[in-house]
Structure 1
Amino acid sequence: MNCFRNGVTRLLLTRIPFFKEIIVSSFSCDSCSWSNTEIQSAGRIQEQGVRYTLAVTSRQDMNREVVKTDCASARIPELDFEIPAFSQKGVLTTIEGIIDRAVAGLEQDQPARRATDKEVARKIDEFIGKLRQLKEVNSPFTFILDDPSGNSFVENPHAPQRDEALVVTHYRRSPQQCALLGLEGEEVDAKPPDAADDLRDEVLQFNTNCPECNAPASTNMKLVQIPHFKEVIIMATNCDSCGHRTNEVKSGGAIEPQGTRITLRITDPSDMTRDILKSETCSVEIPELEFELGMGALGGKFTTLEGLLKDIRDLVEKNPFTLGDSSTPSRTGKLQEFIGKLQDIIEGKAQAHFIMDDPAGNSYLQNVYAPEEDPELSVQRYERSFEQNEDLGLNDMRTEGYEPEPASGR
């Protein structure tokens, strides 16, 4: 598209563990030496959208790696600047690279604008100057990446420690966002009142596609009562084509009036066998390792403490920006040390505190002394903050004293 002569486009289907499958395309032209690279997601759309909010305060932040899919939008509120969804192809770049692409896009038609409308061209030149000044980071600014498909990513250079400058928010897509992604709600036939039997002993099955190979598979769903807790829904998917297995748990009840903070002091290898219900709104913290896993990560799980710690270990090992091809040697050594300490906890060679914080109150950690108190386990109830209620969608929810507006008499 530069000199309009024939070039060569190369396509590569590859699998990145953290981002599932992607298609990498690379174009090059021998006539004018112009080249271009793009990525497209070849995996499934995630169950929730994701929003990354980064406070850029230094030149190092400009080098953070970013995966931006074509359905993601990028915003810089300080300049009232936005790159709308589907206006650019997917790309693997950095914060600075995204700004450079925006500048290149604005400069593309400037010669024509200067000939037809000098005033508009002058204003765009001024705005391009402001974008270029952002690269120097003379003053802090905010970078927001919002992807309804959940397949975009902003690097955390401090992983596995928490990044104070980066806020990751998972959210449920709106009907408009679902329509934009080509997703349609499925209508489920309601059971007649006379068929409202007890589903606790029944395993329901519905057809779906494997998240790994996309082959037809089946998902089993069952309602389970956890002793001394509540009912949950367990879903398991098995693929006969590639052997992939996955399971997920959803809370079968409502959001609790208060949040729950569960703290377990791991002192014995037998603690690894404790049952755990981690909801998708629950965050996990291990203070001794300075590690924190945000809400929405790993989804909902019903497993043991050992199983959850192994999932955390696999999450760090399979992330290409931590220990993969995109990692740096200095960070690799630090993360290898972290994985070693985590493995010591799993094998019972080290003691640590395991903290689960669930604003929705739908997570659970087994008390092996039940119904007596567990000396190593403490459960605290707390009032949710306004921000936590906002993340759960409770601030705009009205369930009491609701009266519909009277119908018009016309």
Structure 2
Amino acid sequence: MSIDPTLFPSIGSVADQTERLPVEAQAVDVTLDEERPVQEIESLCMRCENQGMTRLLLTTIPYFREVIVMSFRCEHCGFANNEVQSAGAIRPDGAVYTVRVLGRDDLDRQIVKSNSCTVIIPEWELTIPPGRGQLTTIEGLIRDIITDLSADQTLRRVQNPVAYEKIESILDRAREAVPGGDDGEEDEASKDEVGPLSTPKKASQIDVPLTPFTVKLDDPAGNSFAEFAGSMADPKWNMRTYHRTKQHNIELGLVASDEPGPEAVAATEDEERIGGGLEGENEEIYIFPGTCSSCGHPSDTLVKKVNIPYFKDILIMSTSCDKCGYRDNEVKSGAAISEQGKRITLEVEDREDLSRDILKSETCGLSIPDIELVLQAGTLGGRFTTLEGILDQVYEELSEKVFASGDAVDDGHAFENFLKKLKAVKNAEHPFTLILDDPLANSHLQNLYAPDPDPNMTIEMYDRTWDQNEELGLNDMKVENYEEDAEPPKEGAQAATA
């Protein structure tokens, strides 16, 4: 579906068109002229109840989609407000945009926050729930945080000292990132030395150290966006999509609260509790009561047996805690231990190969020689996903831990360069080689040509070494004639011992 560029011009073209207008024309209010991109509509001011003016701009954000920027201003009371809404359809998947703010230049990154987007800054322990849409920058977002949280701090200091101290700690970090963002008061470091008519500097232009932090935009509608630097290979930027839950669909108005979502299980809750009620050999869901490893409250682990074509049966285990929200899932083999190990080598040529299903057991190692990536056995645990999905998990795990520790800056940005290579690999920008090495042969990579051999994939079976068997605990494992070891000693042997 093609979009008429005259209906949704890009922001850059709108700016160029405005600059070419005479100064007198720029100062005049834009009217409802079809040749001009901005439209005006009289609207009721909710503060003074007089008529204000709402300006609408239909524009396109590069590498994103079409949006409607709305700006309201009341000339009677001076109230002003702005908002952004998506002009396109709700995306089929939700999206999480992650930006690592390591330097002050990152504060200039543009972000689009829709009215269904949740903003998370983990280092500050701050979560902003969904609200009005915004077209702003990270600096603008932080200034809004300072303004909103500072509003009732004087009252909180008296009525709720605990909440006051917690919010004040967040405000201290925000003011460190954006000096002079509190109620319009500029810090001395944020002013130009040009006299009484000085204008405040942007936070990105201030020569003050910045403590790194992370900004996450989690939007189940997929209509939010965070700007990347240069290209999508930016190591400080990442986008991950996910399937919406039933609750997400209800909140977006896509599913009624009394209708089952697309991911609803065919069995009822009572049938799942007794571990039966489903037809078919592999349709049973077993529930094992346990304890949450995060908060210690009781939680259940659901186990389901799944058959992978041309491979073997596996067990998918899922744990979810209703108290703290902790979630975890893992994959275990449901078959006997193989006599040999397995090494799978795949030559990835294009993005189609990234859609291959992959089962990586907890004993499997993963390596990509092209970028010198080596994951030892046990990393990420057992996973049943796609090749693109597991590379996304590797990228997120590495970027979160290394950027949070500051190692990416201390080593001369060497790790940033490695993440650029990893991002190019997970986007299949060039061919690369993937190697899965599992001494228990419990890992699997989908063959797109099954049952015929895959020309891009090589499977090698090999004999395990003694050290590998020792590490896996197989050298001391006895599965035949073990009854002899359990037999009591004979009477003659007892007498000899006495």
After TM superposition, the score normalised by the length of structure 2 is 0.40
Larger radius of gyration: 2
Which structure has more strand as a fraction of its residues? 1
